[in-house]
Amino acid sequence: MTAQKGAKSQEKVPPNFIKDIIEEDLRSGKHTTVITRFPPEPNGYLHIGHAKSIVLNFGLAEEFGGRCHLRFDDTNPLKEEEEFVESIKEDVRWLGYDWGEHLYFASDYFDRLYEYAVELIKKGKAFVCDLSPEEIREYRGTLTEPGKESPYRNRSVEENLDLFERMRRGEFKEGERVLRAKIDMASGNINMRDPVIYRILHASHHRTGDKWCIYPTYDFAHCLSDAIEGITHSICTLEFEDHRPLYDWILDQLDVPCHPQQIEFARLNLSYTVMSKRKLKELVDRGIVDGWDDPRMPTISGLRRRGIPPSAIREFCKRIGVAKRDSIVDIALLEHCIRDELNKTAPRRMGVLRPLKVVIENYPEDKTEELECINNPEDMGQGTRLVPFSRVLYIEETDFMEDPPKKFYRLAPGREVRLRYAYFIRCTDVVKDASGKIIEVRCTYDPQTKGGNAPDGRRVKATLHWVSQRHAVDAEVRLYDRLFNVPNPDGAKDGRHFTEFLNPDSLVTLKGCKLEPGLVEAKVGERYQFERNGYFCLDSKDSRPDALVFNRIVTLKDTWEKVRRRLSN
């Protein structure tokens, strides 16, 4: 428990401008507590960009001893579904955050919001407008020209009250009338040109059913929901900066419990992927990926299925910082956070992905030895396990070369290497098939080197992982890589479509992989390091006890691969 707490306190959000504002507000006495909120619209799945916001909002509240609300911004019944509220709750929970009792819905406030709208009308600050959607657009003006006032702008309070009430009762068709705030049609900020705050939608809502046929817009509902909940700091992304004057205007007109401060920060962009809901949906709809939880997707469900630990995502979100400039974070940082976490926690196993048969000529045919292997050299507390060794083994195809280039110091004819936790072996011969392909490597072992050390002090340059043929468990292994070939797939200057930059090798499926026998016991949710290969986990969707499927979470850093590439250039 204490250790847990200690670990948590290390997970602080590093300094940033929002934290500065909060600290100043606490210091000056403007606030005595911090109340934030994460306000998703339940119309889609969460992705790692949302994780940044979640970690910020929940992290800040946690750190200052306040709280963070989970509030669904469900003001548009046309787009929202119950299915998404459940998946969003699951994702937030999985990321490690708890909203406690503070689960809210903007739709919980529809009655109060309606009353606030009436109050605005009574103050002469809102009016019912009969203009059609097209006319409203025309009257709004353009970015460089001011708008024109609606001919309905100066209706009497009584008439507005009556019309608004009749809107509520369902006397009008969709688009026939709206309620608008009366602000300034000449404002340079288009959001202030008498924005629509209520519209007619004859649609049933996932929570309020058919009780309402008028619904508040985001601008009206959001600030008031914040005020109702006593939010102190309302943190959102940059595109809402232009909405802040409206946020403040609405709260200034009304008798509200408090006036939260809206603060904007730059949303997360990640290299070698796309983040917009529209683009992710296209990947799903065109069958380019296996659904929203495809392990290559930046969705929370995709990251989860990929096997990425939530702690690594939290750490990543804290490391990227919070600022106002548009940026693209290098996905290598995410990968680093994943390796960093898994290196410390993941038990090691041996798994041969591309098997090459090795026969140890001087090892008895029927003998089996149980060799002790360390589960995690970074954490000896994880203990050891026994792995069977016998005469016929598999090693990695890439660990043998008949004609090795310089700097390759794995197995080759005449060479001696170490089999991890086992023996030194020396290659004596190779066996090829009719096409010349090497199908078997013949070796001898040195019985004196059991455990991996030579009594005579003899050294070897390489240590290979291996699996005993007789004992191996078969598995399918899916090697995942970056979805795109270019850092910024939707930033093509020549207007090329982002799918033109897909990485054809983002998924490589390997069958007939040979794993050490203990891995039959692997369970969904566990993560392993397959030594010298990377980190892997069972696929939660497709793996079956008699047909194991492992996903590669991330590779190990591979210096040899770098050398090899340099050599071939």
Nearest approach, Cβ of 415 to RNA (angstroms)?
11
Report the C-alpha gap between 544 and 63 in whole angstroms.
42
Q: Which of residues 228-267 bind RNA (CB under 7 A)?
A: 238-243, 266
CB 87 within 8 A of CB 42: no
Site string for RNA, 350-379 (x = CB under 7 A): --------------------------xxx-
Q: Which of 203, 462, 473, 486 binds RNA (CB under 7 A)?
A: 462
Contact between 133 and RNA per CB under 7 A: yes
203 binds RNA (CB under 7 A): no
Burial of 435 (0-12, 13-18, 19+ CB in 10 A): exposed
Shortest distance, CB of residue 486 to RNA, whole angstroms? 13
Residue 324 designated active-site? no
Candidates 31, 207, 391, 410: give the one binding RNA (CB under 7 A): 410
Q: Is 149 in the site for RNA (CB under 7 A)?
A: no
Cβ proximity to RNA: between 287 and 495 the closer is 495
Question: Which residue is listed with tokens 């939660």?
Answer: 540
Give the helix/strand (H/E) hosting 468: strand 467-468
Looking at 89, 125, 148, 267, which residue is catalytic? 267
Query: Is 540 among the residues that bind RNA (CB under 7 A)?
Result: no
Q: How far is the CB of 562 from RNA (least distance, A)?
A: 6
Distances, alpha carbon 497 to alpha carbons 274, 480, 493, in Å? 12, 23, 10
Shortest distance (Å) from residue 364 CB to RNA = 21
Residue type for position 185:
M
Catalytic residue from among 89, 148, 277, 279: 277
Residues 469-528 that bind RNA (CB under 7 A): none
* 277 flagged as catalytic: yes
Stretch that binds RNA, among 74-82, 149-157, 249-257, 440-448 (CB under 7 A): 74-82
In this chain, which stretch among 62-70, 94-102, 111-119, 184-192 interacts with RNA, using CB under 7 A? 184-192
Residue among 186 and 547 whose Cβ is closer to RNA: 186
Region 416-445 residues binding RNA, contact defined as CB under 7 A: 418, 420-421
Per rule CB under 7 A, count of chain residues that contact RNA: 93
Q: Residue 225 in contact with residue 102, Cβ under 8 Å?
A: no
Span interacting with RNA, options 69-77, 291-299, 429-437, 504-512, rule CB under 7 A? 69-77
Q: Tell me which of 114, 118, 152, 191 binds RNA, using CB under 7 A.
A: 191
Cβ count within 10 A of residue 342: 25
Question: Which secondary structure element, helix H or strand E, spans residue 92, and what is its range?
Answer: helix 82-94
What are the DSSP calls for 277-340, one per residue?
A: HHHHHHHHHTTSSSSTT-TTS-BHHHHHHHT--HHHHHHHHHHT---SS---B-HHHHHHHHHH
Does residue 142 belong to the site contacting RNA (CB under 7 A)? yes
Burial level of 34, CB count in 10 A (0-12/13-18/19+)?
A: buried
- Of the candidates 484, 478, 472, 473, the one whose C-alpha atom is nearest the C-alpha of residue 540 is 478
Give CA–CA dist 155/164, Å, rounded: 12
Nearer to RNA, 288 or 374 (CB): 374
* Interface with RNA, residue 73, by CB under 7 A: yes
Burial of 405 (0-12, 13-18, 19+ CB in 10 A): exposed
Q: Does 453 bind RNA (CB under 7 A)?
A: yes
For the question of residue 171 being annotated catalytic, the response is no
**Contacting RNA within 43-62 (CB under 7 A):** none
Measured from the CB atom, is 364 or 455 closer to RNA?
A: 455
Per DSSP, which regions of 148-232 are E strands? 178-181, 196-200, 214-216
Structure tokens at 149: 């006032």
Give the tokens for residue 353: 């992905």
Q: Which residues carry out catalysis?
A: 41, 267, 277
